[in-house]
Homo-oligomer: A and B are copies of this chain.
């Protein structure tokens, strides 16, 4: 039923090889034959079977996405669609498709990677978030799979990556609050295993240190990357004997949970409590009050990751691993108390 290259060949009175060569614009085919074949191609609305093509070419022109196994949390964070949008746009431009591995329920990340790559369904993979000494990275390196990590690799030589300078970003966000006079600054982070959390927290600590403000572990809390996590984190911090006067949330979604908790306890933002988030999700701008947040340019992370990966695929494994840093900048809105309509709304930090 489906039409193959043979059908086209038969109808055009040539051999399959000729059709194939027409498709490839091989100059060895005479213009007349080529023309005739092309007519048949249109007439039959023929599209080559990409599966067969992939088999012989040993490439699929498809990028694989390895999502964290906490898939649901990941999907719920606006980070995901935005990074996917970036990936998708770059892939489209460069003629690649996207493959999401969701199948094979019981498998862990490494097995999913093996399956995706060994089964040859993708030419390379984009890894989203890794934990400290994640076995995924070693596997990628050992297998010489073209791969790009969105996030920071513990060992830069292992895998190419694209990331923000999260330590600096954490530093900048904290410094902003310190400069506004806050001395008790709480930190609501995601899972302490995530390098992202670690980096932003270390920037926070560094800023406190540089400002001669003591680091108080009680002011640091780690929660799930959900609105609910921000809520419980904030509840903990506000229950402290001396509550913080400002909060850094390492993700806007956490920040919104935190704002909700503060609201429920009757605190006003920014009068009673300043809040700074990370990511500049669409909601940040339209929230009430609008959220001051560190824009980390998620779209560009995705776009860059796909571009780097395709580049790596094209150049074979000869490419040395690369690390690319996407700049961040703090978007000052009302939630931190520093907002002033006559200011520039955007302060460029990096």
Residue of B nearest to A86 (CB): B75
- Which 3 A/B pairs are nearest by Cβ-Cβ distance? A47-B118, A50-B119, A75-B85
Number of A positions contacting B (CB below 8 A): 57
Q: Which of the residues B2, B75, B103 comes within 8 Å of A118, measured between beta carbons?
A: B2
Residue of B nearest to A80 (CB): B81
Assess A97 versus B99: contact at CB under 8 Å? Given A51-B60, A52-B55, A54-B51. Answer: yes
Q: Which residues of B contact A76 (CB under 8 A)?
A: 81-82, 85, 282
Q: Which A residues between 1 and 42 are near B, CB-CB below 8 angstroms?
A: 2
CB of A229 closer than 8 Å to a CB of B: no
19 CB contacts below 8 A, A to B, read A45-B118, A49-B119, A49-B120, A50-B120, A51-B54, A51-B60, A62-B99, A71-B85, A76-B81, A91-B103, A92-B104, A92-B105, A93-B105, A95-B103, A97-B100, A99-B99, A256-B283, A260-B286, A263-B288
Least Cβ–Cβ distance between A99 and chain B, in angstroms: 6
Q: Which residues of B contact A97 (CB under 8 A)?
A: 99-103, 121
Q: How far is the CA of A104 from the CA of B49 in the complex (A)?
A: 15
CB of A96 closer than 8 Å to a CB of B: yes
Q: How far is the CA of A195 from the CA of B134 in the complex (A)?
A: 46
Q: Do most interface residues of chain A lie in helix, strand or loop, or is the interface mixed? A: helix
Q: Which residues of B contact A95 (CB under 8 A)?
A: 103-104
Q: Which residues of B contact A62 (CB under 8 A)?
A: 99
Contact bitstring A65-87, B, C-beta under 8 A = 1, else 0: 00000011001101011101100
Least Cβ–Cβ distance between A3 and chain B, in angstroms: 8
Beta-carbon contact of A82 and B93 below 8 Å: no
Most buried by B among A2, A46, A48, A286: A286
Q: Which A residues between 81 and 139 are near B, CB-CB below 8 angstroms?
A: 81-82, 84-85, 88-89, 91-93, 95-105, 114-115, 118-121
Beta-carbon contact of B102 and A92 below 8 Å: yes
CB of A61 closer than 8 Å to a CB of B: yes
Least Cβ–Cβ distance between A187 and chain B, in angstroms: 21
Q: Which residues of B contact A99 (CB under 8 A)?
A: 62, 97-100
Least Cβ–Cβ distance between A300 and chain B, in angstroms: 14
Q: Which residues of B contact A89 (CB under 8 A)?
A: 102
Most buried by B among A51, A55, A62, A72: A51
Q: Which of the residues B50, B78, B80, B288 comes within 8 Å of A288, measured between beta carbons?
A: B288
